[in-house]
Each structure stands twice: as C-alpha cells, then as structure tokens.
Structure 1
Amino acid sequence: MDAIINWLSGLSGIAVYGVVAALVFAEDALFVGFVIPGETAVVLGGVLAGQDRLSVYWLALVAALAAVAGDSVGYAVGRRIGPGVLGAGPLRRRRERVERAREMVRR
C-alpha cells in the first residue's frame, strides 16, 4: 500500500484526480472492482488530501461524478447485452432459477 501511495504522491494533483476517477468509473461500469476497488482509490486520494496535496472537496466531486457516470454506463451495457448473457453458458442450464430471480426483481 505504501508503494501505491508513494506512486500517487509523485503524480500531479490533476493526475491523481484522473486516476481516482478512472478507477471509480471502471469499477462501476466495467466490473473492474473485483481486482481494484474504486473505494480504495478514493481512500488513497483521501490520504493525499489529508497531506494537503489534494482538495478533499474536489476529490469528493470527482469520485461522485465518476461513480454516477460509471453506474450509467454499466446500466446501459447491462440493458443491451444482459439478456444475452443470461441466456448463455452456465446460466442456460439454470434458466428456471434465472427466471425466478428476474421475477423477484420485477416485483
């Protein structure tokens, strides 16, 4: 963790905001959160804000906008290719369970 903080602290403020925004966006839109959670990036940005290298207010704004944009893109992607994914591979064999889950979500 120290290596990541040192790497981030070596970047300019704008670059750190960009890294945090990219990780938060990727977590929400592309499910990269399994590898590197966006929350961790925001916390690391908060550490740098605590060291007066970033503005905590700008960091919060950047993280919130990236999360909203990522959620919107993730929703659009899921809406477009989601039905195809639910009917493919291992989920095809569990069609009854998938349909019960979809019905529960609809209710």
Structure 2
Amino acid sequence: MDYNQLAVNLLDAKSLISSLGAIGLIAIIFAETGLLVGFFFPGDSLLIIAGVAASSAASSVLGEGHRLPIATLLIGAPIAAIAGAQLGHQIGVKVGPKMFDKPESKIFKREYVQKAEEYFNRFGPGKAVVLARFMPIVRTFLNPVAGTLEMPARTFFLWNVVGGVLWTESMLLIGYFFGDALAPVIDKYLIPAVLLIVLLSISPMLVEVLRERRKKKNAGPEAENADADAVQAGGGRHRRG
C-alpha cells in the first residue's frame, strides 16, 4: 500500500476503497460516526461507491481486483455505524459538559449543544437521531451532543439502530443496484446525486423548520422570547426521550 498516496487521498472515496477495501471502509464508517476527528470523511459517497464496487460494474470504476463482498458491507457497515454512534454518545455522557464548555474551542462550542437541544425539542429525539445520519458533519457531532444533553441511553440506542441501518443500507444498495448506470458518470454526478439524496432525506425537517418560522413570524417577538426562555430554563440538558 502506498501510504503517501493514501494520505493525499483521504477525501477521495474511490481512492479510499481501492486502498483499504471492505474492512477499511467499515473502519472509516466507525471513525466518522464515533471519533470526532472523523467528520471530514466522505461517508455518503463512500457508501455509494462501495455499493458500486460490490456490483457487476466494479471493474469499470475501480479497476480489476477491487470488487467488494456485498454481504460483508451490508452486515459490517451498519454495525460500525451503530457502534461508532454509541461511542460518540458515551463520549458526550462522560466528557461532554467539559468538552463543550471551553470558550476558546473552535470546534466543540457550547452553542452547538444549545442548538441541538432546540433541535431535539422541536423534532423529538427519534427523528433528530435518524435524520442526522443523512447530514454530513452533523452525524458526527450529534452523537456526543446527545450524550451531553443526557438523552437516555436506551432511547438513543433504539433510534441509533434505526438510523444506522437506514443510512448505510440505503446508500450501499443504491450503489449496488444502480452500479451499471452510475459507473460511466460516477465521477461527474456522484456529489450532486448525494446532495439530492441528503436533501430528500431531510426535507421533512426543512418543512417543519419553515412551518415553525412562519408561526413565530405570525405570533410576533413574544413567541421567540418564550422559546429562548424555555431553552435556557432547560439547563442545557435533554433528560427525556
């Protein structure tokens, strides 16, 4: 393995799959969802290209000898995604308050916890955890934030399993079943396709946000002040699921 080339191509899904194979891909899914430093990995495109690499179009995309076993991916990817998110939740439970209370931190800001709490309260913990899976970067940081907000472990685990399975399996199967169609245009149209999938996935949340904003606008500034007071009164915790 050329480690210098790998270091340069960490953001290139095709290079990662060609270099690391199925086990490496599963490890990356775990890192992206569980290790806070893994937020930059291209999770969505990685899973779709992995699905293509497991299809009959594998050789035309990655070259000969790089076809991945679809059964390994369908079993390993959701397990890694679920385990990674559980680790992120535990990190939030154990060190979240200290991690997010550092005013000098450029990444782990307290405002993330406050915004996440509003997000939990508005959409409910189940929808929040599931939809976050389809949102790059958010799926990395929401897990420790959920732990920091004291989201019950049992509730988080339930929706973590649902979200982890839906995210990994849907992305893999899109690549697998549409591999032949995607192969000729994958370099040009993969990113727009992923963005479209993400947009469709979070469209219910966007509709809800617009609806809430319209309600606040019609209700006037008193409603906005009441919402802000409610979040502050919550003490930065979400104890109920």
TM-score by length of 1: 0.68
Asked whether the 8 Å contact 2:13–2:42 carries over to 1, the reply is: no
Relative to its length, the structure with more helix (as a share) is 1
In structure 2, C-alpha distance between the alignment counterparts of 1:37 and 1:45, rounded to whole Å? 12
In structure 2, C-alpha distance between the alignment counterparts of 1:31 and 1:37, rounded to whole Å? 14
- Aligned-pair CA distance for 1:64: 0.8
Which residue of structure 1 lines up, in the alignment, with residue 176 of structure 2?
A: none
Identity of aligned residues (%): 29
In structure 2, C-alpha distance between the alignment counterparts of 1:4 and 1:84, rounded to whole Å? 34
Superimposed CA distance per residue, residues 14-59 of structure 1 (whole angstroms, 9 cap, x where no aligned partner): x411221121101111134531132322112111011361222221
Secondary structure at the aligned position of 1:27 is classed as helix
Which residue of structure 1 lines up, in the alignment, with residue 74 of structure 2?
A: 60
Asked whether the 8 Å contact 1:46–1:56 carries over to 2, the reply is: yes
Gaps of 5+ in 2: 1-11, 59-66, 104-108, 115-228
Gaps of 5+ in 1: none
- Summarize the alignment of residues 12-91 of structure 1 with structure 2, pairs less than 5 Å apart: 15-32=20-37, 34-50=39-55, 51=57, 53-89=67-103, 91=110
Find the structure with the greater CA-based Rg: 2
Asked whether the 8 Å contact 2:22–2:69 carries over to 1, the reply is: no
In structure 2, C-alpha distance between the alignment counterparts of 1:6 and 1:37, rounded to whole Å? 11
Query: Residues 74, 99 of structure 1: CA spacing in aligned structure 2 closer, same or farther, 3 A cutoff?
Result: farther
Query: Residues 101, 48 of structure 1: CA spacing in aligned structure 2 closer, same or farther, 3 A cutoff?
Result: farther
Name the stretch that deviates more: 76-85 or 25-34: 25-34
In structure 1, C-alpha distance between the alignment counterparts of 2:15 and 2:34, rounded to whole Å? 27
Aligned length: 99
